[in-house]
Amino acid sequence: MRHRLLPAAASAAVLILALSACGDGDDGGGDGPRSITVGAIPIVDIAPLHLAVDQGIFADHGIEVEIRNTSGGAQAVPGVASGDFDFAFGNVTSLLVARDAGLPMKVVANGVATTGEQGADFGAVVVPEGSPIESAEDLEGATVAVNNLENIGDTTVRNSVRKAGGDPSQVEFMELALPDMPPALEKEEIDAAWVVEPFLTTALEGGATEIASNFVDAHPKLTIAVYFTSERLLAEDPELAADFASAMEEALAYAAANPEEVRRIVGEYTEIDPTLIEEIRLPQFPPETDRESVQTIADLMEEDGLVDEAPDVDALFADTA
């Protein structure tokens, strides 16, 4: 298997040392809200984050938030390491690889989880209309698009291939931005793609066929992504981290109880067609991470050679998580 560090992880390791004197956010001095930046990929998964702003949940906790778009965990981790973001949204694979590379990231709040339903999850592997690929086993020898290499996408897709009886080492992965996947499938420029909403529904409406629910295959309650920060911020401003975690816990509970609000807010921070928003599959937004499922991902990463040593899952979580 290939063995490479998380893209940009090495440079981020240098940045975190070079910028160690920089502060993570503004403590506000007790006079008004503390301003922070949060890096997050603009997909359905981060609806609770936007709802926390929209519903005044962050304000209630004395926090003013600026949300900055990222392409995924591979960009979010270096952003937190360098101090560009105080907190960020990223998948658990990114964080475990980051810690293996010496970047001290810590989970402070849950993010998003699978629906646990085969064929009805918010992420899936899809193939072009009329493709001879009918199952994950058939992905042997195929090229599969993912948004970031050596991440939650290819890790769980390899697992699906393995569970279906195929050889995951024979699958070739390539990076492609999520919005570019549906048109690439329609033009048959790729053999398959791992996509999440809203791009999953777009791809299916464009004629693509769903062949695997890779998150569900990994664990029926899989924690896919979380909100995290640096150990430095936790040491310098534990109260800020605790307040951010409390606000996100409230926001996740609000999102889980109000799916119509999730769909409404998605229309405000994305350019998704309103009709499509009503059709997309929503993920689960549990207030707490499922650590057993994170351990499953860690085990898969070790099996596939993404890390040098068995990941310490417990060390990934801050006391606030």
pLDDT of res. 75: 81
- Given CATH 3.10.28.10, say whether it is the number of domain 9-114+221-316: no
Instruction: Work out the average pLDDT over 62-73.
Output: 90
pLDDT of res. 31: 65
Cα(267)–Cα(276) distance, rounded to whole angstroms?
10
Q: Which CATH architecture has domain 123-218?
A: 3-Layer(aba) Sandwich (3.40)
For the cut 60, the answer to whether the pLDDT of residue 6 exceeds it is no
Instruction: Work out the average pLDDT over 66-73.
Output: 85
Nearest to 53 by CA among 72, 75, 71, 68: 68
Strands (E), 86-233: 87-91, 105-113, 123-127, 143-146, 172-175, 192-196, 209-212, 223-230
Cα(214)–Cα(217) distance, rounded to whole angstroms?
5
Instruction: Work out the average pLDDT over 151-168.
Output: 96
Sort 278 into a burial class: Cβ within 10 Å, 0-12 / 13-18 / 19+: exposed
Kindly state the tokens that stand for 250: 């409230």
β-bridge partners, 145: 174, 193
What is the residue-wise DSSP string for 127-156? E-TT-S--SGGGGTT-EEEESSSSSHHHHH
Cα(114)–Cα(91) distance, rounded to whole angstroms?
12
pLDDT in tens, 78-122: 999 999 999 999 999 999 999 999 998 999 999 999 999 999 999
Instruction: Work out the average pLDDT over 235-262.
Output: 98
Please state whether the peptide bond connecting residue 198 to the residue before it is cis, i.e. omega within 30 degrees of 0: yes
Cα(90)–Cα(11) distance, rounded to whole angstroms?
18
Instruction: Work out the average pLDDT over 215-232.
Output: 97
φ and ψ at 65, to 5 degrees? -115, 135
Integer CA distances (angstroms), 266 to 21, 45, 143, in order: 37, 9, 31
Work out whether the CA dihedral 266, 33, 28, 289 comes out positive or negative. negative
For the cut 50, the answer to whether the pLDDT of residue 19 exceeds it is no
Q: List where CATH 3.40.190.10 sits in the chain.
A: 9-114+221-316, 123-218
